[in-house]
């Protein structure tokens, strides 16, 4: 039944979600076999209608749900209760800092850093991403800069050898690219397949980005 609910949430089928919750309210607090929650499922899938409905139910969010949903007051409440939450990993391998960085919640990123979160923690899943990788992937320049100011490793590699610079080149993010270079990004680093950030930019026809990387 939990899996069926999560599938309805993924499709943002609000009426089906409401019906299942009406019949079995306990589903709100259950997880599937991998530990995925209804709230995180809604956030990950951009299911805005389902997410709004779920949050209206006043579910006691855990640290990962709160960080992903942008609920700073709940994050503070949980960290004050247990400071070690800032270092823990969700069942899908991400930290609260990684989730907040990916989803663009700068106030939560700031709070977690101030309270001891590991800026260079690597996700415990196949992606092997740090918070900086996550911020770059979703074009969050302000968060990337905040992470870099606080010691994020600008040349850190994720799965397949991708660096933040490779990701910025792939997305054609000129402003992000300039930021990374200012903080010491190495333009000569190669992914596992031998591509530099310049190679990636050229492959994607990002001419202005490629010109910057040629300098």
pLDDT tens-digit series, residues 169-178: 999 999 999 9
pLDDT of residue 34: 80
Q: The tokens 């300039």 sit on which residue?
A: 178
Q: What is the signed CA dihedral for 94, 166, 140, 135, rounded to 10 degrees?
A: 10
Which of 174, 185, 182 is CA-nearest to residue 212? 174
Helices 141-149 and 174-182 meet at what angle, rounded to 10? 10
Residue 1: band (very low, low, confident or very high) from pLDDT cuts 50, 70, 90: confident
Neighbouring CB atoms inside 10 A of 38's CB total 29
Residue 109: band (very low, low, confident or very high) from pLDDT cuts 50, 70, 90: very high
CA distances from 9 to 13, 59, 61, 139 (A): 6, 16, 17, 26
Tell me: pLDDT of 24 over 90: yes
pLDDT of residue 29: 87
pLDDT of residue 2: 87
The domain spans of the chain are 1-59, 60-127, 154-215
The yes/no answer on whether domain 154-215 falls in CATH 1.20.140.10 is no
pLDDT of residue 4: 93
Residue 188: band (very low, low, confident or very high) from pLDDT cuts 50, 70, 90: very high
pLDDT of residue 169: 98
Q: What is the mean pLDDT of residues 70-91?
A: 98
Cα gap 127→15, rounded to integer Å? 34
pLDDT of residue 15: 97
Helices 2-10 and 14-23 meet at what angle, rounded to 10? 160
Q: What is the mean pLDDT of residues 63-77?
A: 98
Tell me: pLDDT of 213 over 80: yes
Residue 30: band (very low, low, confident or very high) from pLDDT cuts 50, 70, 90: confident
Query: Spelled out in words, what is the top-level CATH class assigned to the domain 60-127?
Result: mainly alpha
Cα gap 72→5, rounded to integer Å? 27
pTM: predicted TM-score of the whole model, two decimal places? 0.94
Residue 5: band (very low, low, confident or very high) from pLDDT cuts 50, 70, 90: very high
Domains 60-127 and 154-215 share a fold: yes
């Amino acid at each position: 039944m939990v899996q069926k609910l999560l599938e309805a949430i993924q499709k943002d089928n609000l009426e089906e979600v409401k019906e299942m919750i009406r019949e079995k309210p306990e589903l709100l607090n259950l997880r599937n076999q991998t530990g995925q929650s209804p709230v995180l499922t809604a956030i990950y899938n951009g299911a805005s209608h389902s997410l709004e409905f779920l949050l209206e139910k006043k579910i006691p969010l855990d640290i990962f749900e709160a960080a992903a949903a942008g609920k700073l007051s709940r994050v503070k409440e949980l960290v004050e209760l247990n400071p070690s939450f800032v270092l823990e990993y969700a069942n899908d391998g991400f930290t609260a800092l990684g989730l907040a960085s990916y989803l663009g919640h700068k106030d939560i990123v700031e709070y977690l850093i101030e309270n001891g979160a590991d800026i260079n923690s690597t996700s415990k899943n196949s992606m092997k991403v740090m918070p900086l990788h996550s911020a770059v992937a979703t074009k969050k320049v302000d968060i990337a800069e905040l992470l870099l100011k606080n010691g994020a490793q600008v040349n850190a590699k994720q799965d397949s050898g991708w660096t933040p610079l490779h990701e910025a080149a792939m997305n054609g993010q000129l402003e992000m690219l300039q930021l990374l270079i200012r903080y010491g990004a190495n333009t000569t680093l190669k992914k596992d397949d031998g591509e530099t950030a310049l190679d990636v930019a050229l492959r994607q026809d990002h001419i202005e980005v490629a010109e910057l990387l040629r300098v």
